[in-house]
Amino acid sequence: MKTVELNKLNEHTFKEANVDKVVMGFGSLESHGEHLPYGCDAFLSYDLAHEVAKKLDRAVVAPSLPYGMSAHYRHRPMCISISDETLIKVMFDMFESVIYWGINKIIIINGHDGNIAALEIATRQIRQKYPDVNIALLEAYWITANNLLPKDTFEVWNGGGHGGEGETSLALSFFPELCDMDRAKGMIPEMDSNVKLVWKFSELSDYGASGAPEKATLEKGQKMQDVLVNSVVEFVNKMETKNWRFNKL
């Protein structure tokens, strides 16, 4: 059976696949409360990336980077974090390695808020150095899912929160065996919708999670999975017809 998992291919099967796209996930290793695994962000980014790759032509999925910039989540055990400066360099080197082998379409699935700034810088640097390389980025799946799903999908705080209703639901759809719903609890901080106060997570919740993870369900997670995967696949296929450039009206 053919696989889209890059780490399971070899020289022969890689050449045979005639790959022109790679889907890459970026995660973290940090607390998401007592109900979710430390590697939740890496697992989710990989599982979403894998589903996307399966639906695209000439695509493979690379192993997700399991660490990210997580210094703002260090108040709960356990956390392994990479500085922004190091993370930018690691991301750039990963992208450049892919480009070296002639793959000029990179689709990124990010699973962790702390990676967004580094991804923005690394991808901009790549586009400056390699203007013919095409990059598509799902930088905050939790926001995208909320935008795409009916407004009554989630019960509390639009499904938001670190390890909250949305993230926990998605985890239940991919790796329920690693979720302990008997321990699911979080807190909802009062936050301004227009002006962002820069926070450390310990200021938002007394737990490793925020939001209402106890409201998570497998059904909500499956809905999230479907809209996220389909939106990325539809976007990539649309860009294929446009030579990966915007229309200028």
The string of DSSP codes covering 193-238 is: SSSPPP--GGGT-SSS-BS-GGG--HHHHHHHHHHHHHHHHHHHHH
pLDDT digits (tens, 9 = 90+) for 66-84: 999 999 999 999 999 999 9
E strands in the chain? 21-26, 59-61, 105-110, 134-138
Chain position carrying tokens 């889907």: 23
- Give 151's DSSP letter: T
Distance in angstroms between the alpha carbons of the first and the last residue of the chain? 45
The residue type at 2:
K
Full pLDDT tens readout for the chain, 249 residues = 589 999 999 999 999 999 999 999 999 999 999 999 999 999 999 999 999 999 999 999 999 999 999 999 999 999 999 999 999 999 999 999 999 999 999 999 999 999 999 999 999 999 999 999 999 999 999 999 999 999 999 999 999 999 999 999 999 999 999 999 999 999 999 999 899 999 999 999 999 999 999 999 999 999 999 999 999 999 999 999 999 998 888
The residue type at 60:
V
Cβ contact 31:40 at 8 Å: no
pLDDT digits (tens, 9 = 90+) for 170-206: 999 999 999 999 999 999 999 998 999 999 999 999 9
Pairing of strands 21-26, 59-61: parallel
Question: Where do the domains of the chain lie, and which CATH numbers do they carry?
Answer: 6-160+226-241 (3.40.50.10310)
In 3D, which of 209, 210, 222 has the Cα closest to residue 170?
222
In 3D, which of 249, 226, 236 has the Cα closest to residue 22?
236
Chain position carrying tokens 């059976």: 1
- Give 108's DSSP letter: E
**Nearest-angstrom CA–CA distance, 186 and 103:** 42
